[in-house]
Amino acid sequence: MRGFAAMNALSQHEVAQFQRDGFFVARGLVPRADCAALKSTAQSDLAAIKAPVEYEVDTKYPGAPASHAAPGGRTVRRLLQAYARGPLFARWGAAPEIGHRLKQLLGPMVQLSQAHHNCVMTKNPRYSSLTEWHQDIRYWSFERPELISVWIALGREFAENGCLLVLPGTHVMDIAPQRFDAALFLRPDDASNRELIATQQRVELDAGDVLFFHCRLFHAAGSNQTAETKFSLVFTYHAADNRPLAGTRSAGLADIAL
Ligand SMILES: O=C(O)CCC(=O)C(=O)O
């Protein structure tokens, strides 16, 4: 029988894939029963608008309601502070199944950041917005731009409900500042950006599949065109010696050691 370490080790191929592409998917990592329980709590928290939350209107992304008073103005985009939303959320935020894999990529001491992501992304069928091409690191402040986010699908994710799209290999590219707009999204009118965006890959997931992706990987997502809300649980990790910069939002909440 294979032990825990062997079952949760990345193969050399997966490590190489992450280094080359900036992402990989571990299929079926979270048991279906846990996904169902996490989704059920998320559905209750969403129905109750249990704080803290971020609203679609706060993002100002294309397709977001114009104001809190507009139709859909109270649509939640993220249930924030996922780690503190219940024992099963904490269990998966600090999961050894995830930590073991991350340690192969980040080093032996890994920490969960409670300040970034650490949320359930809720993509509403009627009022969800488009997320344009960006790198998550753009608003984060650490000594090194070396963090990994872990995106746990709590249900199916596919084009019609706004699954993630990624640009493989962009985590190691240097993109000239003029190719970004003021909010640090890739400008769609730039010819080089258009070429890059043509390399996009869709990340389709089933419940329990886990996407690991580098904080410099460009990604985007469409709106939800189906009748059901999509739920994804997302956590971000860094090496213990890659400290958040003092006084920034990244240093605002205690890290959790894995
Ligand atoms: O599901 C989405 O719309 C993408 C979310 C995303 O990329 C982000 O919050 O950084």
Give the per-residue pLDDT at 129: 78
Cα of 239 vs its chain's centroid, Å: 17
The pLDDT, as a whole number, for residue 17 is 96
d(CA 23, CA 212): 5
CA of 167 to the centre of ligand 1 (A): 14
pTM, full prediction: 0.95
Instruction: Calculate the alpha carbon distances from 71 to 44, 81, 126, 207 in Å.
Output: 22, 26, 10, 30
Q: Residues enclosing ligand 1, CB less than 6 A?
A: 121, 123, 131, 136, 162, 219, 221
Q: What pLDDT shows up at residue 1?
A: 63
Helix (H, G, I), strand (E, B) or coil at 137: helix
- Please answer whether residues 79 and 53 qualify as being in contact, where contact means their C-beta atoms are separated by less than 8 angstroms: yes
Q: How far does residue 206's CA lie from ligand 1's centre (Å)?
A: 17
Cα distances from 203 to residues 59, 111, 138, in angstroms, run: 23, 25, 22
Alpha-carbon distance 127 to 252, whole Å?
30
User: One digit per residue, pLDDT tens: the chain, 258 residues?
Assistant: 678 888 888 999 999 999 999 999 999 999 999 999 999 999 999 999 999 999 988 877 777 777 788 777 888 999 999 999 999 999 999 999 999 999 999 999 999 999 999 999 999 888 877 899 999 999 899 999 999 999 999 999 999 999 999 999 999 999 999 999 999 999 999 999 999 999 999 999 999 999 999 999 999 999 999 999 999 999 999 999 999 999 999 999 999 999
Instruction: Give the SS3 label for residue 227.
Output: coil
Residue 31 confidence (pLDDT): 97
**Closest residue CA from atom 10 of ligand 1:** 136
> Where are any strands of DSSP class E within 102-146?
110-113, 119-123, 131-134
Which residue among 23, 79, 164 is best mutated to probe the pocket of ligand 1, counting the most ligand atoms within 8 A of its Cβ? Answer: 164
CA of 102 to the centre of ligand 1 (A): 21
Rounded to the nearest 5 degrees, what angle is found at the Cα of 79, between the Cα atoms of 167 and 219?
5
What local confidence, expressed as pLDDT, does residue 126 receive? Answer: 84
Question: Ligand 1: which atom is nearest the Cα of residue 222?
Answer: 3
